[in-house]
A and B are shown apart, each in its own frame.
Chain A
Amino acid sequence: MLLTVNNLGKEFTLHLQQKRKIKAISKVSFALNQGEFMCLLGPSGAGKSTILKCIYRTYLPSQGEIIYAAPKGLIHLEKAPEETILELRQKDIGYVSQFLKVLPRISALEIVAKPLLDLGTDKETAYAKAQEMLLLLGIKKSLHQVSPFTFSGGEQQRVNIAKGIIAPKRLLLLDEPTASLDRERKKIVIHLLSQLKQQGITMIGIFHELDLVDKIADKFLDLKEVSNESNFS
């Protein structure tokens, strides 16, 4: 198993509002082998992003364990020291967010090339591949040198996806990657993801278009309601 999640629960305590507690997820369990694609389902607010953020450690889990099989050995992501998590984020676990976090001063090309540059790829190759990826996702050449700050939501998301999959990590967490895209573009993205799957990349993604992911998804996790036990199939 590459990733084992046991009884994961997340609760938020709002100290500024009389310590009110908000339960986001409870008793979530599943396991993934390397190369598997799991689709998270459920209504808005059910806790799908929460699961991804707990795995990535943006959220600190309240209960349960998240065990990742790194090349060096098993790591408990819920309690690993920050240095370990930072190391894992560099090479092992990637997160494609729902919305592109964009700074107005960085061009689309720079954003997409950065993961390759971080791996040590030379500038020329990195920028060439970044350009190729952006064109594949339908971002025209004239926009490559521009910051995505002024792009449409769908265009921003495509830059975000390009950045997330150009140098894929062993485990990819995809938070509604196709939400803002038209149907044709959704198909292109899912096709790219299936190519990653063939490379052995393990993925957990939040998608609403079941018919499109049906072919590549190995497992589904349905979070029917907030604070209910999940259904794992």
Chain B
Amino acid sequence: MLLKVKNIQKIYGPSCTKCLHSTGYAEGSIICPYCQSVVAVKNVSFTLNKNQVLGIVGESGSGKSTLLKIIYLLEQPDQGELFFYGTPELKDKNLFQLNYLEQNSYRNIYASMVHQKVQDGLNFYFSAGANVSERITAAGNRKFYAIQNQVFDLLTQTEIPVSRANELPAKFSGGQQQRIQIAKALANSPLLLLLDEPTVGLDVSIQARILDLIKRLQEEYNFSIIIVSHDLSVIRFLADLTIVMKNGEIVEKGLTDQIIEDPQHPYTQLLVSSIL
């Protein structure tokens, strides 16, 4: 096992005793009618093994992106525990209770995230190469040429011309910007890669290239992936296991081919029937 997610809950707003009972799939809403709080994530638990790809599919407001940010320690949940077994130093410790340095070490070395909006993942005032090297230096590396070689290697792997390493992100296309994000996310050889709708808004041909790249890198380096998408065909392409979320809750969990060919939950059946 690599990751254990236990009973995650996240409510935005004052919250009250009635929040949990009056929101969710059956209630048809994530907004508590009594205190107007948003119950973004309600009691989510799952585990992830090494070399496994998990897809989280759901529509807008399902809580999937919030869940991913919580797993990357960008946000604190109200309740829940997170355990990471990729390194002995973090074993059996609830990641939400780590000190700042330990959390940083998790975010910089063992896990990484590719954001939906490139602006959230890259600094547009730094060059492409500098963005990638930032993660490498964050792990404590200080030798210039070693860092530079790693940066060039990562850019090559994500098919960004090394000759353009000193250019600012704004000079690249949307697809290239996303690939720079991926290059950065691969730095320090993470064990867990978190992808938040990595191809949304990109042209289909670019989407295919990026997904092919992610698949190829996963097969080569065997890191685990949690990929969040509203598009079942993206999930089908990459994920072995799938979780379906609606209104902050998990409604179904299973093997990806089973979720698509034999969906059990009414909402999953609706999603599958909506594939073009």
* Least CB separation from B212: chain A residue: A105
Flag whether A198 is at the interface (Cβ < 8 A).
no
In the assembled complex, the Cα of A43 lies from the Cα of B165 at a distance in Å of 62
Near A by CB (< 8 A), chain B positions 226-268 give: 240-241, 253-255, 257-258, 261-262, 264-266
Are B208 and A105 within 8 A (Cβ)? yes
Decide yes or no whether B17 CB sits under 8 A from chain A.
no
A38 to B10, alpha carbons, bound, how many Å? 52
Does A60 contact B241, Cβ atoms closer than 8 Å? Answer: no
Query: For the complex, is A85 an interface residue (Cβ under 8 Å from B)?
Result: yes
Q: Which of A14, A58, A82, A105 has the most CB of B within 10 A?
A: A82
Known: A60-B262, A82-B241. A16 touches B257 (CB 8 A): no
* Given A60-B262, A82-B241, A16 and B49 contact (CB-CB distance below 8 Å): no
Other-chain contact of B255, A13, A15, A16, A85 (Cβ < 8 Å): A85
Assess whether A83 is in contact with B49, with CB atoms less than 8 Å apart: yes
- Interface size class on chain A is 10 to 19
Assuming A58-B258, A59-B258, is B269 touching A16 (CB within 8 A)?
Answer: yes
Q: Would A82 and B269 count as touching, CB distance under 8 A? A: no
CB-CB < 8 A to A14: which residues of B? Answer: 269
Given A16-B273, A83-B49, A85-B255, A53 contacting B261 (CB threshold 8 A): yes
Cα of A12 to Cα of B264 in the assembled complex, Å: 8
B122 to chain A, nearest CB (A): 27
In angstroms, how far is the closest chain B Cβ from the Cβ of A9? Answer: 14
Beta-carbon contacts of B1-37 to A below 8 Å, as 1s and 0s?
0000000000000000000000000000000000000
* Interface pair A86/B261, CB less than 8 Å apart: no
State whether the Cβ of A57 lies closer than 8 Å to any Cβ in chain B. yes
Q: Interface size on B (CB < 8 Å)?
A: 19
Q: Which of A53-98 contact B (CB under 8 A)?
A: 53, 57-60, 82-83, 85-86
Q: Does B276 contact A (CB under 8 A)?
A: no
Give the contacting residue for A58; candidates B49, B212, B257, B266; CB below 8 A.
B257
Contact A59 B261 (CB under 8 A): yes
List, in ascending order, chain B residues with CB within 8 A of A57's CB: 255, 258
Contacts of A60 in B (CB 8 A): 254, 258, 262, 264
Q: Which of A12, A16, A82 makes the CB contact (< 8 A) with B254?
A: A82
Contact assessment for B255 and A82 in the assembled complex, using a CB-CB cutoff below 8 Å: yes
Expressed in whole angstroms, the Cα–Cα distance for A38 and B118 within the complex equals 54
Asked if B275 is at the interface (CB within 8 A of a chain A CB), the reply is: no
Q: A16 to chain B: which residues have CB within 8 Å?
A: 266, 269-270, 273
CB proximity of A43 to chain B, nearest CB, Å: 22
B52 close to chain A: CB less than 8 A = yes
A2 to chain B, nearest CB (A): 22
Does B262 contact A12, Cβ atoms closer than 8 Å?
Answer: yes
Task: Check A86–B258 contact: CB distance below 8 A.
Answer: no
Task: Tell me which residues from 146 to 198 in chain B have a Cβ below 8 Å from any Cβ of chain A.
Answer: none
- Cβ–Cβ < 8 Å partners of A83 in chain B: 49, 52
Q: List 13 A-B contacts (CB under 8 A).
A: A13-B264, A14-B269, A15-B265, A16-B266, A57-B255, A57-B258, A58-B257, A59-B258, A59-B261, A82-B255, A86-B52, A86-B241, A105-B212
Q: B residues near A, CB below 8 A?
A: 49, 52, 208, 212, 240-241, 253-255, 257-258, 261-262, 264-266, 269-270, 273
Q: A residues within 8 Å of B by Cβ? A: 12-16, 53, 57-60, 82-83, 85-86, 105
Pick the 10 closest A-B CB pairs, nearest first. A15-B266, A59-B262, A58-B257, A15-B269, A58-B261, A82-B255, A58-B258, A16-B269, A82-B241, A86-B240
